[in-house]
Amino acid sequence: MSTIAERLEEVRASLLPGVKLTAVSKFHPVEALREAYDAGQRIFGESRVQELAEKVGAMPDDVRWHFIGHLQTNKVRRLVSLRPAMIESVDSERLLRIIDDESAREGVVSRVLLQVHVAREETKFGFSPEELDEFFRCRGFETLRATHICGIMGMASNTDDTGRVRADFRAIADAMARARRLAGDELRGFDTLSMGMSHDYLAAMQEGSTMVRIGTAIFGERQY
Ligand SMILES: *Cc1c(COP(=O)(O)O)cnc(C)c1O
């Protein structure tokens, strides 16, 4: 049995240059996060606001928390108050506007990724590529007061069909490239492409991912 520190090291060694690692710690106990922290990991991904709140209180202050789960609008205020380093899973323009309002109210600037939905099954959440194009064509980011859009997050279909997985990653990367073109220079710091999980991150990096979200390969199976 390898340890969390050993598996973390293995994952790190397999990352392409410049690719950042979000260690997805959802459903794992604080002791597991501590082990990763002691091995140098600082970015952790959580998918539920209540669980995040508990872990924020139990972990050192220099952890950078990424929220990666579906966010209900009635939990936005609580999440923003926890000051996550990034909200990766902004899956609708309505949610984006609520995050912006709550961030302005709280007096912080929230850093977010827009989630694009390309996979066949899996989650139904996310902007479709067409909606995303429309958002950038209409310059929907210009009216944000307290939110910085840092890039795009997406997931590939959950399938053994590697051709399909690669096509999904390419579609996500293409959506990011179009957004860049449509937004022009005004969207500064729009450079994070978050894609790739334990079973598909090698393919994701080859298709241009700059940030991978890896849980199982570091922490083992989740105990739901
Ligand atoms: C749980 C989750 C992950 C991590 O999945 P693993 O297969 O355990 O690596 C990545 N991204 C999102 C959005 C998740 O919900």
Instruction: Decide if 212 contacts 196 (C-beta within 8 A).
Output: yes
* Centroid of ligand 1 to alpha carbon of 78 (angstroms): 22
* Cβ 123 under 6 angstroms from ligand 1: no
Least confident stretch, 14-18, 48-52, 97-101, 219-223 = 219-223
Tokens of 193: 């492409």
* Cβ 66 under 6 angstroms from ligand 1: no
User: Which pLDDT score is estimated for 113?
Assistant: 98
* Centroid of ligand 1 to alpha carbon of 111 (angstroms): 20
Looking from the CA of residue 198, the nearest atom of ligand 1 is: 9
* Centroid of ligand 1 to alpha carbon of 68 (angstroms): 8
Helix ranges restricted to H, the chain? 4-13, 30-38, 49-58, 76-81, 93-106, 129-137, 162-183, 201-206, 216-219
Looking from the CA of residue 153, the nearest atom of ligand 1 is: 13
User: Which pLDDT score is estimated for 122?
Assistant: 59
pTM (predicted TM-score)? 0.97
* Cβ 52 under 6 angstroms from ligand 1: no
Give the tens place of pLDDT for each residue, 122-138.
567 999 999 999 999 99
* Centroid of ligand 1 to alpha carbon of 197 (angstroms): 6
User: Which pLDDT score is estimated for 54?
Assistant: 98
User: What type of residue is 181?
Assistant: R
Is residue 183 left, alpha or beta, with left meaning phi > 0 and alpha meaning psi from -120 to 50?
alpha
Looking from the CA of residue 201, the nearest atom of ligand 1 is: 9
Tokens of 164: 């399909």
Task: List the one residue out of 54, 88, 83 whose CA is nearest residue 71.
Answer: 88
